[in-house]
Amino acid sequence: MRQIRILVTVIAVIFLISLLCSVYVLRPSGSRRAEVVQDGRVLYTFDLDRTQDQELTVYYGNSSNTILIQDGEIRVSAAECPDQTCVNMGKLYSDSLPIVCLPNHLIIRFAE
């Protein structure tokens, strides 16, 4: 019986630590400046509070990503890559989770 209590306590502590880490990683960014980076080079920087709605295309070789800035948010709306991970990531939300397109070497992140 004592071993079950210890096991339940350990599982509860692991759960709480995991929950706290998830909340920390998924918290919204305090920054409103976003960067579009390709191969380590910053292509664009946007102040999302001041940038008008727009769509731009970033090319990499014969492939491209379409980036949409709308209502103070930025996301990849279309991509010519096989997995579409960057499109499925949705809007940029957290400092810890940038939008990444590995095939096109593209990262959209909040600026420091």
Task: Single out the residue of 58, 89, 59 nearest to residue 73, CA to CA.
Answer: 89
pLDDT at 40 over 80: yes
pTM: 0.77
Distance CA 98, CA 94 (A): 7
Q: What is the pLDDT of residue 97?
A: 87
| pLDDT score of 44 more than 90 | yes
Tokens of 50: 């001041």
